[in-house]
Every structure is written in structure tokens, then in C-alpha cells.
Amino acid sequence: MKILAGILGIRLDEKVIFFKGEYKVLKRVLLLIKPYKKKIIAIFLCIIISSGINILVPFISKEIIDKGLVSQDFRVIIKFSLGVFLLVIVDQGIGLFQTKYYAYLNSMFRYTLSKNAFKHVLKLKMQYFNNVNFAEIMNNLNIDIANIASILDRGTFLIINQVFKFIGGLIGLMIISWKLTVIVICMVPIRYFLVKYLAQKRMSLFQQYIDCNREFSAWYGDTISGVKEIKLWGADRLKLGQFINKNRKIMKLNIKIIFMDKLNEFSETILFQFITSSIYIIGALLLFHHDFTIGSLFAFITYSVYVTMPISAILNIGYSFSSVIPSTNRFCEFLDMETEFEKSNEKMLKIVKDEEFNIKFENVNFSYKKGQKLLSNVNFEIRQGEKVALIGSNGSGKSTCINLILRLFKPTSGKILLNGKDINLFKLRDYRELISVVNQDLYLFNSTIEDNIMLSSKNNECLIYKAAKESGASEFIDKIPKKYKSKVGRNGSKLSSGQRQKIAVARAFARDSIVFIFDEATANFDKESEKYLSDLININYKDKTIIVICHNQRLLKKVDKIIVLENGEILEVGSYEELYAKNIINRVI
């Protein structure tokens, strides 16, 4: 890769790259490496010194044979042998230093890729998570990061080391015998065309391998998510059959890739042995005619290794990177996916927490796909301090309205205004800090109760206890041996549904936002807890804006107004008494 793009001066053009059209992708990866420029330069200096030592050793060995062994000069043998020994010690010491930096660079590069991927996952739009599952995301990222990180593994720097060896070896060959040098160089075009053909084949196979793995991961994640249904409907044999069929495709491709690797190794070994045998034969003829010394022959063979092995290594870059290119492409496509976070813009409006929170829907339409409207011409307003309920049958658009207020989605057309200004003009992080949400399908992390309550900030014991008491969660927490230090299990698996819901409510109270959204938040509450929460909202949180999705008539009687949705449209807006009189309450609930 043009010696890591001019030691990360980063000027690449299309002619440099083994696979035409991919230079932009590789340039982008090299930019990720750029922060480690100093360490890479240090490694290159080590490589140059090590290569210089390796070039000297065959010359010294030649002198040991010709002037020491053949001439039977013991002093020469001792002097040059000690010289080689000292050079090897220096070379190995440099090798230790290189290895330390190899390991650091490779580990840090993997970390950087993983961190960038994780940050991007957290910023992706919700639509992405509706289309893929966790297993698919993890599998794709793990494969791609491992392949891309191989650019900075020991093998890449060894290839660069081989380049310097090649230069030194070629100089040594020309000094000893230009005729034999021609034989060595003749293998280059043969090896080049073989590697080019095999690399193209391997890249095609690896692309298929990636696609099959992605398909299998998506299927696997979907299957595990539906394991309860598989058990209840006795579909285990069907799923096992699907598992076998999908893995059979992956195994066949893996076998082909491994065989292709062996075929590449086979062609390299045959060519290398052909060159070595030719050198022995022709070198022997020159030796018999006194045009060569024994030391020169052995030195030439050593230098031929310095040339032939690097040729294979250099030409194999394209073969080795044949798996990097598809992974890099997919990884870059992933990083280029649109996120919900806006680009840094000084003109983005700042939110003053003390000001009122008046939110208004103006002719809002929303759909995931064309022709499938979830909301149609929705208009309503929620003013600061109002207690508002959204009601309607399943699929009427209640949760969609909430998701739009939270900016998890954007309206297809129309506007949502905050104090008369489009909500998309406000910084997303600041905007969401105004709102606390309790969903029916809440998620608890596999951590302690206190960590789950204070999810987005540092633990404040007073705030945690106050929020837990207000939500009613303290009643069961105080009875647990470790209390607030108790682990809740994966998604609160160690708690009952009612206990999980109370912790979620405590999480909302602990944030102390100016707006609270309860999406069927009391669905798992007992009647006493439900009444307590209802009274609390209307007394302790009377200055807060409350938006609830519920069908509990006791709670509906206490809200200021009710917005009734039907088939994505506003059916009616009014108080409980007004809607009850029109028989809408009984019809919807």
C-alpha cells in the first residue's frame, strides 16, 4: 500500500491500489491510523536497521567460508563468527522493540475501530434497529473489524520489512553474479499473474462468505428471540434443519477459501524451489569452472531467499487484502449511515430549561413506507403544565405521536413546534433532557437498582431514595438484602413486572424533567399503586407537563384533556366528561 501511504502522508491514487476503485476506502482507513504516526515511524526505523543487519550477515558468512574454512584460518573464523553473533543479538533486541509496538498499534487500532462503531451504533436512527437484530450487528462488526485491523498486524510490517530485504538482497545478488540474478527475477511476472488470479477468486469467495454470515446472523438472532414460540409450536426440528442448511453454505465457502490459501502457498513453494534448484545447478557449474567460490554460492542462495521471499510477500499483499476490501467497504458503509444526531451547527437553538414547554402538531403526517400512512394531518397542542391523555385502539397512532415528540422519527410532512419553533432546530441532546419517558416495554440493564434509576448521570443517593419512594419502588427494595445494590438481572429478570415498572418510573422521577411521558406505564401496577401514582402526578407534579397513553378511566378523569386517535387521525379532543357524553370513551376503551 505504497509503504503505508508514505508513512501516513496519506496521498493515494487509484493506480496504487490492488483493487481498482477501492482507493477511497483504503485512504479512509489510513486516516484512522494517522494518530499513531510516530510509533509507525519508529517501527520503520527498526525495520531499516534490521534489514541492514540482515544484508551484512551473508557477506560475513561468505568471508567465514572462503577466508576461514577454506583457507583454514581459525582467527578469521572466530572474528567473523563473533561479529555475526553480535549482529544477531542487536537484531533480536530490535525485534523485541518492534513487537511491543506491533502489539500496541494493532490493539489500539482495533480499539479505535470498535469505539467508532459503538459510538455510531448509539447515534443511529431507530429504523435501523427495526430492520436488524443484535446478533447480526455484532457478527458484521466483529468480522469487519478483525479484517480491517489486520492492516496493522505484525504481518503487514513484516511485508514492509521484506521490501527492504528485497532491495538489499537484489544489490547483493548483482554484486555476486548478474547472470544468476536474471534467473531469480524471471519468477516475478509468473508469480504476479498467479497471485492476481488467486486474489480475485478469493475476494469473490470472501464476499459470498460475508453475505452468508450476515444472513445466518440475522436468522440466528431472530430465532433466539422467538425461542418461546419455537418451544410452544414444536418447531425445533424445522429450525435445526434451517441451521444445518445455512451453515452448510458457510462451511463450503470456508473450505474453498482455505483451499485457495493452500493453492497460493503451493504455487509459491513450487516456484521458490524451482529457483533454488536452478541456482544450485548453475552455481555448481560456475564453481566447477572456478568462476565462483563456495562462500559466494552460499551467499548468493541466502540473497536469493531475501529476494524471492519478499517478492512473494509483496505480491501476496493483494491476496491477503482480498478479505480486507469487502470488510472495509461494509464497515465504511455502516459508518456513513445517517444518524439521528445533527451535525455541529452554531445556529442550533439552545433550550432554556426555565421557559415554558408548549408543543404543537401542525398538519403532521408520518409513514415508514410510501402509501402506508400511520398519521394523517394530525393537529393538537399541549401547553405547559397540562395533563394530557392519548387514547385509541391498537395501531391508531398513539405511540407514533410519542416517538415523534421524542424525535426518534421525523414527520414525513408537517411540523412539530416547541414554543413556536420547529423541534428539529434544537440540539437533540438538550431537547431530550427536557423529557422523561416510562414505556410499557421498558428495558432494565443488568446492573444494580441504583444504576438503573440514575441511568444518565452520577449516582446521587438522596435523589435515588426520593425517586424510589415517590414511585413506590422503595417498598420492595427495602426488603431485598442488598437493597439498592441488588442486581436486577438481564432486563430485570430477577424482578416482577410490577417491580420493573416501578424502577422505570423512579428513573423518570430521578431525572426531574419538565415533561413526563407515561406510555401504558401503570399497566403492571396493582390498584393501590396505580391510585398512588395518579394522585402523585396531580399533586407533587402539578407544574409538570404530563402526557399519558392509557385506558384507565380513573386516570383519564384526572387529566385536563384527552386526545382521541383513530386510524392515524384525530377523532376528537376534549375533557373526560365531554367525550363520555358523546359516547367516545366507551367506544374507544
Query: Do 372 and 330 fall into the same domain?
Result: no
3-state secondary structure of 511: helix
- Is residue 53 a part of any domain in this protein? yes
How many residues are present in the chain?
589
Which pLDDT does position 21 carry in this prediction?
Answer: 47
- Is residue 327 a part of any domain in this protein? yes
Q: Which residues of the chain have pLDDT under 70?
A: 1-26, 130-133, 135, 154-158, 179, 228-229, 231-232, 291-292, 306, 308-323, 341-355, 371, 456-459, 521-533, 535-540, 588-589
Query: Do 319 and 381 fall into the same domain?
Result: no
State the DSSP code for 412: S
Phi-psi region of 530 (alpha: psi -120 to 50; beta: other; left: phi over 0): alpha
Query: Do 275 and 407 fall into the same domain?
Result: no
One-letter amino acid at 323 equals: S
CATH number at residue 226: 1.20.1560.10
Per-residue model confidence as pLDDT tens digits over 231-280: 667 777 888 888 888 888 888 888 888 888 888 878 877 877 787 777 77
Q: Retrieve residue 506's grid coordinates.
A: 423512579
How far is it, in rounded angstroms, from Cα 398 to Cα 571? 12
Task: Report H helices in 34-177.
Answer: 37-63, 74-123, 126-131, 134-149, 154-176
Task: Report H helices in 321-447.
Answer: 324-335, 398-405, 428-432
Burial of 542 (C-beta count, 10 Å sphere; 0-12/13-18/19+): exposed
3-state secondary structure of 393: coil
Query: Do 36 and 149 fall into the same domain?
Result: yes
Query: Do 170 and 67 fall into the same domain?
Result: yes
C-alpha pair distances (Å), 180 with each of 168, 186, 192? 16, 10, 20
One-letter amino acid at 66 equals: D
How far is it, in rounded angstroms, from Cα 458 to Cα 455? 8
- Is residue 414 a part of any domain in this protein? yes
C-alpha pair distances (Å), 264 with each of 153, 156, 196, 207, 477? 21, 18, 10, 19, 64
- Is residue 345 a part of any domain in this protein? no
Distant-in-sequence, close-in-space partners of 210: CB < 8 Å, separation ≥ 6: 143, 326, 327, 330
Query: Do 328 and 461 fall into the same domain?
Result: no
How far is it, in rounded angstroms, from Cα 284 to Cα 286? 5
Distant-in-sequence, close-in-space partners of 337: CB < 8 Å, separation ≥ 6: 120, 124, 128
User: Per DSSP, what are the bridge partners of residue 229?
Assistant: none
Query: Do 38 and 75 fall into the same domain?
Result: yes
Question: 279, 302, 335: which is the final residue of a domain?
Answer: 335
- Is residue 46 a part of any domain in this protein? yes
Quote the crossing angle between the two packed helices 154-176 and 74-123, to the nearest 10°: 150
Which pLDDT does position 19 carry in this prediction?
Answer: 44
Which pLDDT does position 316 carry in this prediction?
Answer: 59
Residues 513, 518, 523, 526, Cα dihedral to 10° = 40
Query: Do 49 and 186 fall into the same domain?
Result: yes
- Is residue 340 a part of any domain in this protein? no
Question: 267, 300, 335: which is the final residue of a domain?
Answer: 335
Which pLDDT does position 122 carry in this prediction?
Answer: 79
- Is residue 131 a part of any domain in this protein? yes
- Is residue 344 a part of any domain in this protein? no
In the block, cell 387514547 appears at 391
Question: 274, 302, 335: which is the final residue of a domain?
Answer: 335
CATH number at residue 490: 3.40.50.300
Q: What angle do CA 443, 449, 454 make, to 5 degrees?
A: 80
Beta-strand pair 421-422/569-574: unpaired
- Give me the number of domains the chain comprises: 2
* pTM greater than 0.75: no
Query: Do 509 and 396 fall into the same domain?
Result: yes
Query: Do 288 and 370 fall into the same domain?
Result: no
Query: Do 77 and 129 fall into the same domain?
Result: yes
How far is it, in rounded angstroms, from Cα 65 to Cα 350? 81
Domain that holds residue 409: 359-588
Distant-in-sequence, close-in-space partners of 219: CB < 8 Å, separation ≥ 6: 242, 246
Q: Retrieve residue 458's grid coordinates.
A: 452520577
Query: Do 301 and 417 fall into the same domain?
Result: no
User: Per DSSP, what are the bridge partners of residue 124?
Assistant: 339
User: Per DSSP, what are the bridge partners of residue 439?
Assistant: 519
Closest CA to 390 of 444, 115, 380: 380
